[in-house]
């Protein structure tokens, strides 16, 4: 059998794992909000119209933050349409998704939902069709206790406590020509800097995210980051990355190695940010908010879903409802490994999205809610990855891929919590046909013992959970694991993702 070996040393920390790494994203898009998380007529809906079965699944998923309300949607959104008496809220055209926005859910309702799922709200302002004033207005409405026109309006709307939103996105994908109000980098950077300065006049302690590139293949990638950060470096805390992965022309080997592309993306953005830091002689470190990432069969959206008929503006249409398979879950697990490996610089991230729209959770109106395959690696990683991400020494055979060149067949990351001794190792086998035995040298941990080992793997790598078969794919215990003398041996089946939880004694 093919073999790989890795060594973990609890002293070699990449950095502490920020819990915001396990964030997600809810956009007013398709059935993410309406007929998804929010369905007042559903038997499981609570008094506010939110589905309690979805709330339970979101909690189980371990989501720590939720970015809202978009996405492309936000670049044409008027936040004030979504507050106040529901029967007075306007219906509007949503140009991003060729839909009708009813505004029955807005900032106050969504902030209430975020509290129900125990997640922090990350709010995006519209810098596409709007600017500094509207960003300041929504900040005043959301975060000022009372005593001003907009904060008193919130109180009059029945929300007495301010929402206290700490982290704000300055627009969405402003590098993309598809974005309403898209701008060249310098102009966007200046608009973002002015907005940030204004927002900081309200509250210096806010955390602000400026838009980076929509994907690494953008023709402006690199230059965009440099120019935007030259304009905003002193004003913002994070630069965003967005990336979606799918197999191109059936090339599954490259698809399984999507984390290589994510690694390169993060490394390049960090290098560009550090270049701007150097030329500005700044002592401040810029962090990365990877606030949209996932597998997305975008080609399917473009060929099947996209609404183009100028007479059609549906409410909550079925858009981007990808049914995820085993191989998609393995890729998502691999992308989580990449994010953890960069824990020193990636301190916020959002799986895009959360319900129905390229989502780990699916719902049927009036019917059940279920876990997609991608639910499992996210939930398990969020639960087990505690403390610090560790530097790894990994020796693995390699193979050639069309998109990424030569890549290791096994990818892995380990985490260790010095407070509890809890350690986790996350591994991916990228081979399409070979099992690989991995030996993990954990002998530098004291009294190491196995807690659990779980894998996602199936003889049918295209198997998925659907309305008809919602539990077709599940996580299975990996019974191949053996631990002796600090060595952990595990067999990874082809196209699989595995999480091993270990306990160890805390050494003072």
Provide the annotated active-site residues.
173, 292
Choice from 352, 369, 380, 491 touching ligand AHR (CB under 6 A): 352
Q: Tokens 């106040």 — which residue?
A: 84
CB of 370 to ligand AHR, least distance (A): 21
CA proximity to 458, closest of 332, 371, 335, 329 = 329
CA proximity to 196, closest of 141, 237, 164, 242 = 237
CB of 31 to ligand AHR, least distance (A): 13
- Cα 295 to Cα 298: distance, rounded to the nearest angstrom: 9
For β-strands 287-295 and 238-245, DSSP reports them as: parallel
CA proximity to 221, closest of 232, 210, 213, 233 = 213
Angle among Cα 55, 60, 65 to the nearest 5 degrees reads 75
Choice from 7, 102, 103, 172 touching ligand AHR (CB under 6 A): 172
- 3-state SS class at 154: helix
Choice from 13, 23, 26, 27 touching ligand AHR (CB under 6 A): 27
Contact call for residue 23 and ligand AHR (CB under 6 A): no
Q: DSSP letters of 7-47?
A: EEEEEEEEEEPPGGGGEEE--SSTTSTBTTTB-TTSTTB-T
Contact call for residue 356 and ligand AHR (CB under 6 A): no
Choice from 65, 99, 254, 353 touching ligand AHR (CB under 6 A): 353
CB of 319 to ligand AHR, least distance (A): 9
Contact call for residue 173 and ligand AHR (CB under 6 A): yes
For residue 4, report the phi and psi dihedrals to the nearest 5 degrees.
-140, 160
- Cα 353 to Cα 363: distance, rounded to the nearest angstrom: 14
For residue 438, report the phi and psi dihedrals to the nearest 5 degrees.
-115, 135
Q: Which two tokens stand for residue 407?
A: 């890549």
CB of 40 to ligand AHR, least distance (A): 25
Q: Which of residues 204-263 bind ligand AHR (CB under 6 A)?
A: 214
- Cα 434 to Cα 422: distance, rounded to the nearest angstrom: 30
Distance of CA 353 to the CA centre of its chain: 7
Q: Tokens 């398709």 — which residue?
A: 30
- The 287-306 contact track toward ligand AHR, x by CB under 6 A, reads -----x--------------
Count of residues of this chain found to bind ligand AHR when the rule CB under 6 A is applied: 10
Q: Which residue is nearest to ligand AHR (CB)?
A: 71
Q: Which of residues 29-88 bind ligand AHR (CB under 6 A)?
A: 70-72
Which one-letter DSSP state was computed for residue 301? I
CB of 358 to ligand AHR, least distance (A): 6
18 near 343, Cβ under 8 Å? yes
- Cα 22 to Cα 332: distance, rounded to the nearest angstrom: 13
- Cα 386 to Cα 419: distance, rounded to the nearest angstrom: 10
Instruction: Report the length, in residues, of the chain.
Output: 508
The residues of the shown chain that bind ligand AHR, judged by CB under 6 A, are: 27, 70-72, 172-173, 214, 292, 352-353
């Amino acid at each position: 059998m093919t073999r790989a070996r890795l060594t973990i040393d609890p002293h070699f920390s990449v950095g502490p794992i920020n819990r915001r790494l396990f964030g997600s994203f809810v956009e007013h898009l398709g059935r993410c909000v309406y007929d998804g998380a929010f369905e007042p007529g559903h038997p499981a809906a609570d008094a506010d119209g939110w589905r309690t079965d979805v709330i339970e699944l979101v909690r189980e998923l371990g989501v720590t933050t939720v970015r809202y309300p978009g996405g492309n949607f936000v670049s044409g959104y008027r936040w004030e349409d979504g507050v106040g008496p529901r029967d007075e809220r306007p219906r509007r055209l949503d140009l991003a998704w060729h839909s009708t926005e009813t505004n029955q859910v807005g900032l106050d309702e969504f902030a209430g939902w975020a509290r129900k799922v125990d997640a922090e709200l990350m709010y995006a302002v519209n810098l596409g069709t709007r600017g500094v004033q509207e960003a300041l207005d929504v900040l005043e409405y959301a975060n000022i206790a009372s005593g001003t026109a907009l904060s008193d309006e919130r109180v009059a709307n029945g929300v007495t406590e301010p929402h206290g939103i700490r982290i704000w996105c300055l627009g969405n994908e402003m590098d993309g020509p598809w974005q309403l109000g898209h701008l060249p980098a310098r102009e966007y950077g200046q608009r973002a800097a002015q907005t940030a300065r204004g927002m900081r006049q309200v509250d210096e302690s806010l955390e602000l995210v400026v838009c980076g590139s929509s994907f690494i293949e953008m023709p402006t990638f690199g230059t965009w980051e440099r120019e935007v950060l030259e304009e905003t470096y002193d004003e913002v805390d994070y630069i965003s990355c967005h990336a979606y992965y799918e197999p191109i022309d059936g090339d599954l080997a490259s698809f399984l190695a999507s984390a290589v592309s994510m690694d390169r993306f993060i490394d390049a953005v960090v290098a560009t940010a550090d270049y701007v830091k150097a030329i500005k002689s700044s002592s401040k470190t810029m962090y990365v908010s990877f606030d949209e990432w996932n597998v997305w069969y975008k080609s399917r959206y473009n060929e099947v879903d996209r609404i183009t008929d100028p007479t059609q503006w549906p409410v909550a249409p079925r858009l981007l409802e990808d049914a995820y398979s085993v191989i998609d879950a393995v890729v998502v697990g691999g992308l989580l490994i990449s994010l953890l490996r960069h824990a020193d610089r990636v301190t916020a991230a959002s799986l895009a999205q959360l319900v129905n729209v390229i989502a780990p959770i699916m719902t049927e109106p009036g019917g059940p809610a279920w876990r997609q395959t991608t639910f499992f690696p996210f939930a398990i990683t969020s639960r087990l990855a505690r403390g610090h991400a560790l530097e790894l020494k990994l020796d693995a055979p390699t193979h050639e891929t069309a998109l990424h060149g030569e890549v290791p067949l096994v990818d892995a990351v380990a985490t260790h919590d010095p407070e509890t001794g809890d350690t986790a190792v996350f591994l991916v086998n990228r081979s399409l046909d070979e099992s690989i035995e991995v030996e993990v040298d954990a002998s530098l941990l004291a009294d190491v013992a196995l807690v659990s080992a779980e894998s996602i793997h199936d003889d049918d790598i295209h198997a998925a959970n659907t309305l008809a078969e919602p539990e077709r794919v599940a996580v299975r215990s990996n019974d191949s694991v053996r631990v002796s003398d600090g060595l952990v041996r595990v067999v990874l089946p082809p196209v699989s993702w595995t999480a091993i939880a270990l306990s160890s004694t805390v050494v003072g």
